[in-house]
Amino acid sequence: MTLFAILLGTIVAGVGSVWLAAMISLGVLARYTQHMLSLAAGALMATAFMHLLPEAFESAAGAHDLFALLLVGLVFFFLLDKAELWHHGHEHHLMPARSPNGHVHPVHASAHAHADGHHPHHGHVHGETRSGGWSVLAGDSVHAFGDGILIASAFLADVRLGVVAALAVLAHEVPHHMGDLVVLRQSSGTRRAAIVKVSLAGTVTAVGGLFGYWLVNRLEDYLPYFLVLASSSFVYVALADLIPQLQKRLTLRETAAQVAWLAAGIGLVAAVSSLAHAH
């Protein structure tokens, strides 16, 4: 039963996030993008601080070791983010521009962006270029594998934790996949091909879930450390990636909506946990 729940949770999180991102990217829910960022940030922080960390600290593991791992995890994800930014910055530093006579000239990416009236973004939104499609898929697959292990760890600790962890992964992957779909749309040429490719990368989440089920069953004493590592990932994504995108000058009404959606994310986690507990 637990294995089935892990597989279901990982598929919903891994593939569902891609489809939801595609809906937004295709314009169906475009006007709700900022609301979804607030919702995701609230859900991630609530999952980490209200569920994963308390579960880890209620174990026999030492608080000092768990806090040390939380710190190491935050630094690790910071360095991983820096490496990704460096990789994409290096990859897209020179972009080909074709002159009227047909010759191709390298043009600095920022100059190209300003010329088109666009500006580079921080975060997971990648530059619109035809290169880098396979590297995006490879990065998505590795990330999805890790998400699967984290979801499996949460399910093995408590079904409620597994459900909220799966929903949190789904929520925080949506903005990431939106950027990926932009890159894959350019390299694949069609929206359908881009969605299929990113969805296939998302199915690796289930592979990670299976591996996590096997691994955690044999290393049960290390479960609190897996939960703390999951927490560090969620906290980092919420505070370093999502929240900064929300820090902009808004009207009072827009600010109130932003706070409301942030609270809704927290409430969603609490509600899902209560429902899972009731069943």
Question: At which residue do the structure tokens 């593939």 appear?
Answer: 15
Amino acid present at 168: A
The alpha-carbon radius of gyration of the chain (Å, integer) is 20
- Helix (H, G, I), strand (E, B), or coil: what is residue 94? strand
Amino acid present at 241: D
pLDDT of residue 260: 94
Spatial CA neighbour of 81 closest among 228, 207, 244, 257 = 244
Instruction: Please give the model's pTM, rounded to 2 decimal places.
Output: 0.64
Which contiguous run of DSSP H or E holds residue 19?
A: helix 2-25
The DSSP symbol for 129 reads -
The span from the CA of 155 to the CA of 150, in Å, is 9
Q: Cβ atoms within 10 A of the Cβ of 97, count?
A: 14
Q: DSSP H helical segments within 124-251, as ranges?
A: 133-157, 159-188, 191-202, 204-218, 223-236, 243-246
- pLDDT (tens place) for every residue of the chain, 279 residues total: 888 999 999 999 999 989 988 887 666 566 677 787 888 888 888 888 988 898 889 888 899 999 999 999 899 888 877 776 676 555 555 444 444 444 444 444 444 444 444 444 444 444 433 444 666 677 678 778 888 988 998 898 888 888 888 988 888 787 777 767 766 776 666 788 888 888 998 999 999 999 888 887 776 777 788 888 888 888 888 888 788 888 888 899 989 999 999 998 898 887 876 765 565
Spatial CA neighbour of 202 closest among 1, 9, 3 = 9
pLDDT of residue 9: 93
